[in-house]
Structure 1
Amino acid sequence: MVSRRTFLELMSLTACKDLIAAPLLKGARSASDEDVTQYVNIAVGTGGHGHTYPGATVPFGAVQLSPDTFNSGWDWCSGYHFSDSSIMGFSHTHLSGTGCGDLLDVLLMPCVGEVKLDPGTRENPESGYRSRFSHADEITRPGYYSVRLKDYDVLAELTATERTGLHKYTFPASDKSHFILDWSHSYADPKNPVVDANLSVVGEDTIVGGRTVNSWANGRKIFFAMQFSKPFEKLQLVADGTTQPETARELKGVALKAVLHVTTARNEIVYVKTGISAVSAENALKNLRAEQPGWNFDATRMSAHDSWQTELSRIRIEGGDSKQKEIFYSSLYHMMVAPTLMDDVDGSYRGMDDQIHQLDPGQHNYSSYSLWDTYRALHPAFTLFQPQRVPSLVNCLITMAEQSPAGMPVWPLQARETGTMTGYHSASVMAEACVKKFEGIDYQRAYKAMRKRAMDDNYRGLGYYREFGYIPADLEEESVSKTLEYDYGDWACSQVAQSIGRTDDVELLKKRSRNYQHLFDPQTKFIRAKLRDGQWATPYDPKEMGHSKKWRDYTESNSWESTFGVQHDVKSYIELFGGREAFVAKLDNLFNQSSELPADAPPDIAGLIGMYAHGNEPCHHMAYLYLYAGQPHKTQERIRMLLDTMYRNEPDGLAGNEDCGQMSAWYVMSAMGLYAVDPVSGNYVFGSPLFDRATVNLGGGHELVIEAKRKSPDEKYIKAVTINGEKHDRLWVSHADIAKGAKIVFTMSSEPDLKLGTAESVAPPSLEV
């Protein structure tokens, strides 16, 4: 509910309706710069299985103000799918490209005519407050969304700041215009997960509320404050299906709704602005007052645009066709809609312990870390073009590890641990920052949390891992994938231990990071499941999800994909196959297999070339493994093929779930010619640069320039490399060599060079014990 002090703050908001909203993020574009936002096609990923949303947000913003077309089912994890033709309303929080659904908080729908309290169905939109729409009427730009609601003849326009959303609705003439505020709307799979909620009406133009949601993020708390530019003429409040007396101004319950009636003239504009907070309704009001004091929609929209122009301009590309530019900048856009800010303007935030904490100056709290996905390419990319954010992103993970009853973050969402996916890849993000020597991070604190998970926690088979040297498939589900991911966790922990002088742990952790050897079958040359008695699990088929229907042996993968899941110790791993030629032959077989999968394969295994699945993250480094085995031309060939075939500038333009930026990050990094097979090593390997030139703003006045000299766009093979004008005989580079500025020049050819970078002595570094 609202305090008297909050009420006075609301009155001050009302008094300043004509103020212009101050730009939130600094760094306006230069007049001489090309507006790269023109290349962003936000609709990419809204169709197929991309699971993205088309609405308005700012870089890393807490608010994602976007239309919801449905709120249940796998392809509606973001609340929107391009196949739909009606809209339920516009909510303020959305997930980008995830394989699980949640959020969709604070749904507002402008309506004209008879009041309908339920949204109705996609098949019969007229049965509820839904409205039909046409994609031809949608406009999507970074920081802006608009659509005409056909059934109401209302033009809806949306924009946002970091913690607020601003709506602009142009109505027809009607004495039956109204808004539906549906505070029960959420991602409902299979049923409404709201367990308690409240609403309060303040004055004649403002509503505030809060609720607790038991969904994917179980026990998540969210609050809002919403103000209208036009006072309500009549108000209906509905609690759990019962309409309250007209005098009611406060509600408690589970399914809460408000109907806000207004009379509108032809083309009359009604603005609505909403602040959100994970702390309290009072803080939502503070956020609203600080970031959206007025009603100037155009100024807010331009501020959002300029924020995107600033961030997108951190990487400038030259060359390529218009399609490639659209894919590149659409990908770069989707790399910056997560993680999302989750603190308030006063520095307070809700921690993983459900308590309210205060941030140190300059720090931020974040949400939506899809770490199983994003440690692979998104976070390595951040260390190049978002270095100023890295310390805060890592410090947030450290604090989460300390506050959370679940320990090391796995998939944290709005102060709750979802526990989704295997491993604990927050360790990779922490270790990568450590190896790349990012300052402003307390690595002693980081290692304390990392060591507890690696050495002490009996977490999801880790006890078995320490006891057996692998996880037995008859004791723990997804045992193969978990073993491989705990190997990588040990490798990550060892690097931080080494940096802070914990030499007593380093040797043990590095040795343990080779536990994959226990699951390598020298007869079949596959990584496969093993039982507690040391016997191989049977029956066995490398395309199957596991040896038993009780549970899977692999996480969204099979034995083919797991066999190439070793990222940190590739040199030693190659020796298990009998040497480079044998390894390359097996890797060729991965790509040349039939793509037929068993009936119980999860839909995440998508974008198949043989048994390589580009639509899911475990495969993302695999085409680069040829480089470690002395055949880099095959890496270059396959990377170019993947760039050309797995991405399109269309709604169904992604091979699989976007997963909070990872699918896009693979494209952006690979198109520039760099990829971190082993992010914790601090190295990047070279692939096949797509553009003639890429200029990366590294911060601090430094630039990384990557130039590809070629006679034709079809020249995909690297013939020669120079770094800062000096000949480079390796097809990899360390972060330290480029982080303070560098120029990499690739000379490209239509024919493969069978000598450059092929000697074992110049192969990328692997684990050394």
Structure 2
Amino acid sequence: MQSASAACVAGRLSTSASASITRKGRATQEDPLQWVELHTAIGGHGHCFPGASMPFGACQLSPDTFNDGWDWCSGYHISDTSIMGFSHTHLSGTGCGDLLDFLVMAGTGKAHTKPGSRENPDEGYRSRFDHADEHMEPGYYSVILKDYKVRAEMTVTDRAGIHRYTFPASDQAYLILDLQHGYGGGEGPVTSAELRQTAPDTLAGGHITDAWGKNRHAYFAMQVSKKPERIVFYKDDEETAAPAAGTDLTGKNIKAVLYFKTTANEVIHVKTGISGVSAENAQKNLTAEIPAWDFDKAQRAAKLAWRRQLSKIQIETANETHKKTFYSALYHMSLGPTRFDDVDGRYRGMDNEIHTLNPGEQNYTTFSLWDTYRAAHPAYTFIEQERVPQFVNTLIRMAEQSPDGMPIWPLHGRETGTMTGYHSAAVISEACVKNFPGIDWERAYKPMMKRAMDDDWRGLGWYRKLGYIPADKEEESVSKAFEYCYDDWAIAHVSKRLGKHDDAALLLKRSTSYRNYFDPSIGFMRPKLADGTWTTPFTPIEMGHKKDWRDYTESNPWQTTFAVQHDVAGLIALFGGTEPFITKLDGLFSAPSDLPPDAPPDIAGLVGQYAHGNEPSHHIAYMYVYAGAPHKTQSRVRSLLETMYAPTPDGMQGNEDVGQMSAWYILSSLGFYPVGATSGHYCLGSPLFDRAVVNLGGGRELKIEVHRTDPAHQFIQSFTLNGKRQDRVWFDHTEIAEGGSLVFEMGPEPNTTLGANPSSFPPSLDL
């Protein structure tokens, strides 16, 4: 922390702030790349990967240290000391594992066809490595493979990756291509693979996998910069004849070893295009994006892309830890959703058919919607305004093409069905409320209403019939009902836009069905049985009323009682008013942090029974604003910003979930957060920085200025929006959509009158 005299204030910048002064006196932005710590969340339970990717890119070229187990969902964990190789697709911070397509490994000496174990790397093609030999920066990764004395480097374009291997002198240098490799351990998830040689220096093929995404198709084309002395093909780890020209080697376990003779420090490049359509399309992607053997050019382009991406938000602060945490979070938030189309506009749809985009369209995948609808997608509406319609139109196409209807957790043309609710509706509806162009709302409305009104899907029939889901009929019944309430409310906004007022009224009323779960005798949301009675016995930390299944999704009664984002005023009324509600909310944060033995590991980052490491808690600290006690929000949010994040391998509580954990930090550190994202309302918290500028695109900016005499001051004394002082501590997206300014005056003690009048509370249940 710095003293007031050293703080960055208007017209006077410290040398460590995110701007510098040129010789002509002009302020120039500091390069944000220097503050990104790619070590962040690659240990603990963060589930992030350290390798190279472009912003929202299809290719993630990264090392795999293991391909099974919860903490290896991204293929990497900092606890490991050996590397299996480098594959081209990775998930960022998910709680389930998949991908790790098309592993390449370099070596010298006798080539093994199996990776070997972490306990004994010598039994396979693994290599030991030291973390001190790793270098990570946005768009680039390198490491020394100690067992082979090979330096491995990699960088990427959107749909292709390029490796650079520097070999020692060897008569037995080699590269292994392993098509059996994937997430799932053992024999792996591959159900079929195909490999062909299309030129003396080029291999192509693909595989189909059954891991998290079932029947998932992935294809590649791989070219090496030096013609191999020979290529040996393997099927089921036995050497086999090379496939004849124009034919494929097929099976579940297909590999190839490319042999070379190398001189000291000789460089061999490998470039690989990927596709969800075909190997031929992977070659098109490769030819278009990496036409030459110029690793440095590709790396410079990736670095420039990341500099542009991370410069969309400029912050000023003397606290370097905050700066590293912020830009590392912005980096992680920019890794997904990921592109899932080819340079010719073709992509594999959710119906497993090949489709062609219209000119100007883009297709995406890896939507962790149960997580990201809360803060990541709202953040994209600030800094990714050109992508938002592309995201939404992708979700609409998915809803039309998928046999499962509205997207839940789509991955590479497959619906994983993971988590509850159908929050593609929330993301689509938020874009509608914020008036994004280029979206056919009638087209979007049809599949949303089919799910809301017709589909007998995961308890929706019970929800529509009874106003709740019986705990003896459906697992995770309470959480599912709450999330259907939110999605009903979200869709009602599109109903209103389209003039379908009867639909809007029905959905709005039904979105209050969460109230049927409130038991006033105990002050908690409680499961109900089909006969209308409460489940017994009940404890507020339970997972479910019986061992067959849970009644709550990665949460318990404490967290679920506050899982009402769209109607906080209605929830407060159930408790009898603001004072008892505040008392209950205080109790959440002060309760013992005990959990039963069957609690999922996702319930992490506990403060009392508040679990910051998992998304159902993310809005809760801001609920005090709706009860006239925003100073409690400010204190709590500042504490969470300081204690739940650090730019270190284990610096994230819970897994990243494709940007949601980071998005909470990004928005909260700027000073605001969307409790019910679809509404477009943002509640104020406690801004961390002295100044920030958010680039909204088109020359528009949101400017944030924070005045305080001590960095420790966390309480808002006054708030000015667009030059006008406010008596409220919230604002609406419409007020800053064309650019705007937020000015905070901070102090050491709460201003208990600001935002305390009920007339200044944020709206609830509004359309």
TM-score normalised by the chain length of structure 1: 0.95
In the alignment, the residues of structure 1 paired with residue 722 and residue 529 of structure 2 have an alpha-carbon distance, to the nearest angstrom, of 53
Q: Shift of the alpha carbon at 1:656?
A: 0.4
Partner of 2:587: 589
Is the CA contact 1:591–1:609 (under 8 Å) kept in the aligned structure 2?
yes
Q: Shift of the alpha carbon at 1:434?
A: 0.3
Q: How does 1:412-427 map to 2 (within 5 A)?
A: 412-427=410-425
Partner of residue 188 from structure 1, selected from 171, 174, 184? 184
Partner of 2:153: 157
1:258 corresponds to 2:256: yes
Is the CA contact 1:214–1:220 (under 8 Å) kept in the aligned structure 2?
yes
Q: Shift of the alpha carbon at 1:320?
A: 4.0
1:202/1:459 Cα in 2 relative to 1: closer, same or farther (>3 Å)?
same
Partner of 1:122: 118
* Equivalent AA in structure 2 for residue 83 of structure 1: S
Partner of 2:8: none
In the alignment, the residues of structure 2 paired with residue 527 and residue 675 of structure 1 have an alpha-carbon distance, to the nearest angstrom, of 25
* Equivalent AA in structure 2 for residue 684 of structure 1: Y
In structure 2, the residue corresponding to 1:338 is in which secondary structure?
coil
1:247/1:106 Cα in 2 relative to 1: closer, same or farther (>3 Å)?
closer
Q: Shift of the alpha carbon at 1:242?
A: 2.4
Is the CA contact 1:320–1:690 (under 8 Å) kept in the aligned structure 2?
no
Q: Shift of the alpha carbon at 1:725?
A: 1.5
In the alignment, the residues of structure 2 paired with residue 524 and residue 748 of structure 1 have an alpha-carbon distance, to the nearest angstrom, of 38
Residues 508-543 of structure 1: per-residue CA shift (max 9 Å, x gap): 100000001100001111011000111000111110
Partner of 1:82: 78
Partner of residue 56 from structure 2, selected from 51, 60, 66? 60
Q: How does 1:310-321 map to 2 (within 5 A)?
A: 310-321=308-319
Is the CA contact 1:352–1:417 (under 8 Å) kept in the aligned structure 2?
yes
In the alignment, the residues of structure 1 paired with residue 635 and residue 733 of structure 2 have an alpha-carbon distance, to the nearest angstrom, of 24
Residues 607-661 of structure 1: per-residue CA shift (max 9 Å, x gap): 0000000000000000000111110000000000000000011000100000000
In the alignment, the residues of structure 2 paired with residue 328 and residue 60 of structure 1 have an alpha-carbon distance, to the nearest angstrom, of 18
Partner of 1:229: 225
In the alignment, the residues of structure 2 paired with residue 280 and residue 494 of structure 1 have an alpha-carbon distance, to the nearest angstrom, of 40
Q: Shift of the alpha carbon at 1:245?
A: 2.6
1:205 corresponds to 2:196: no
Partner of 1:14: none
Higher mean displacement: 202-211 or 616-625 = 202-211
In the alignment, the residues of structure 2 paired with residue 293 and residue 118 of structure 1 have an alpha-carbon distance, to the nearest angstrom, of 32
Higher mean displacement: 38-47 or 239-248 = 239-248
Residues 75-106 of structure 1: per-residue CA shift (max 9 Å, x gap): 00000000000000000000000000000000
* Equivalent AA in structure 2 for residue 671 of structure 1: S
Partner of 1:528: 526
Partner of 2:342: 344
Partner of 1:461: 459
Partner of residue 494 from structure 1, selected from 480, 484, 492? 492
Is the CA contact 1:88–1:119 (under 8 Å) kept in the aligned structure 2?
yes
Q: How does 1:324-339 map to 2 (within 5 A)?
A: 324-339=322-337
Partner of residue 141 from structure 2, selected from 128, 140, 145? 145
In structure 1, the residue corresponding to 2:203 is in which secondary structure?
strand
Q: Shift of the alpha carbon at 1:459?
A: 0.7
In the alignment, the residues of structure 2 paired with residue 282 and residue 246 of structure 1 have an alpha-carbon distance, to the nearest angstrom, of 20
Partner of residue 45 from structure 1, selected from 41, 56, 59? 41
Is the CA contact 2:679–2:766 (under 8 Å) kept in the aligned structure 1?
no
In the alignment, the residues of structure 1 paired with residue 721 and residue 576 of structure 2 have an alpha-carbon distance, to the nearest angstrom, of 34
In the alignment, the residues of structure 2 paired with residue 137 and residue 528 of structure 1 have an alpha-carbon distance, to the nearest angstrom, of 53
Is the CA contact 2:180–2:187 (under 8 Å) kept in the aligned structure 1?
no
1:626 corresponds to 2:624: yes
Q: How does 1:437-448 map to 2 (within 5 A)?
A: 437-448=435-446
Report the identity percentage.
59
Q: Shift of the alpha carbon at 1:292?
A: 0.3
In the alignment, the residues of structure 2 paired with residue 44 and residue 599 of structure 1 have an alpha-carbon distance, to the nearest angstrom, of 29
1:293 corresponds to 2:291: yes
Is the CA contact 1:718–1:747 (under 8 Å) kept in the aligned structure 2?
yes
Q: How does 1:554-703 map to 2 (within 5 A)?
A: 554-703=552-701
Is the CA contact 1:594–1:610 (under 8 Å) kept in the aligned structure 2?
yes
In the alignment, the residues of structure 2 paired with residue 203 and residue 441 of structure 1 have an alpha-carbon distance, to the nearest angstrom, of 44
* Equivalent AA in structure 2 for residue 266 of structure 1: A
1:503/1:363 Cα in 2 relative to 1: closer, same or farther (>3 Å)?
same
Q: Shift of the alpha carbon at 1:203?
A: 2.0
Residues 212-267 of structure 1: per-residue CA shift (max 9 Å, x gap): 11111100000000000000101110012321135756411010000100000000
In structure 1, the residue corresponding to 2:421 is in which secondary structure?
coil
Partner of 1:409: 407
Partner of 1:734: 732
In the alignment, the residues of structure 2 paired with residue 248 and residue 119 of structure 1 have an alpha-carbon distance, to the nearest angstrom, of 27
In the alignment, the residues of structure 2 paired with residue 724 and residue 401 of structure 1 have an alpha-carbon distance, to the nearest angstrom, of 39
Partner of 2:9: none
Q: Shift of the alpha carbon at 1:556?
A: 0.3
In the alignment, the residues of structure 2 paired with residue 232 and residue 188 of structure 1 have an alpha-carbon distance, to the nearest angstrom, of 31
In structure 2, the residue corresponding to 1:652 is in which secondary structure?
coil
1:31/1:743 Cα in 2 relative to 1: closer, same or farther (>3 Å)?
closer
In structure 2, the residue corresponding to 1:221 is in which secondary structure?
strand
Is the CA contact 1:237–1:248 (under 8 Å) kept in the aligned structure 2?
no
* Equivalent AA in structure 2 for residue 417 of structure 1: E
In the alignment, the residues of structure 2 paired with residue 757 and residue 345 of structure 1 have an alpha-carbon distance, to the nearest angstrom, of 52
Partner of 1:364: 362
In structure 2, the residue corresponding to 1:276 is in which secondary structure?
strand
In structure 2, the residue corresponding to 1:664 is in which secondary structure?
helix
Q: Shift of the alpha carbon at 1:572?
A: 1.5
Partner of 2:13: none
In the alignment, the residues of structure 2 paired with residue 371 and residue 381 of structure 1 have an alpha-carbon distance, to the nearest angstrom, of 14
Is the CA contact 1:473–1:532 (under 8 Å) kept in the aligned structure 2?
yes
CA root-mean-square deviation: 1.1
Partner of residue 172 from structure 2, selected from 176, 179, 182? 176
Residues 572-625 of structure 1: per-residue CA shift (max 9 Å, x gap): 210110100000000000000111110000000000000000000000000000
* Equivalent AA in structure 1 for residue 712 of structure 2: D
Q: Shift of the alpha carbon at 1:724?
A: 1.9
Which runs of no fewer than 5 residues in structure 2 stay unpaired? Answer: 1-25
1:190/1:111 Cα in 2 relative to 1: closer, same or farther (>3 Å)?
closer
In the alignment, the residues of structure 2 paired with residue 336 and residue 462 of structure 1 have an alpha-carbon distance, to the nearest angstrom, of 33
In the alignment, the residues of structure 1 paired with residue 760 and residue 712 of structure 2 have an alpha-carbon distance, to the nearest angstrom, of 27
Is the CA contact 2:163–2:271 (under 8 Å) kept in the aligned structure 1?
yes
In the alignment, the residues of structure 1 paired with residue 150 and residue 207 of structure 2 have an alpha-carbon distance, to the nearest angstrom, of 29
In the alignment, the residues of structure 1 paired with residue 679 and residue 183 of structure 2 have an alpha-carbon distance, to the nearest angstrom, of 39
In structure 2, the residue corresponding to 1:606 is in which secondary structure?
coil
- The total of aligned residue pairs comes to 740
Is the CA contact 1:205–1:230 (under 8 Å) kept in the aligned structure 2?
yes
In the alignment, the residues of structure 2 paired with residue 191 and residue 74 of structure 1 have an alpha-carbon distance, to the nearest angstrom, of 17
TM-score normalised by the chain length of structure 2: 0.96
Is the CA contact 2:196–2:243 (under 8 Å) kept in the aligned structure 1?
no
Which runs of no fewer than 5 residues in structure 1 stay unpaired? Answer: 1-29
Is the CA contact 2:195–2:205 (under 8 Å) kept in the aligned structure 1?
yes
In the alignment, the residues of structure 1 paired with residue 268 and residue 766 of structure 2 have an alpha-carbon distance, to the nearest angstrom, of 65
Partner of residue 705 from structure 1, selected from 696, 703, 706? 703
Residues 670-701 of structure 1: per-residue CA shift (max 9 Å, x gap): 00001000001111110000001110000111
Residues 43-94 of structure 1: per-residue CA shift (max 9 Å, x gap): 1110000000000001000000000000000000000000000000000000
1:258/1:629 Cα in 2 relative to 1: closer, same or farther (>3 Å)?
same
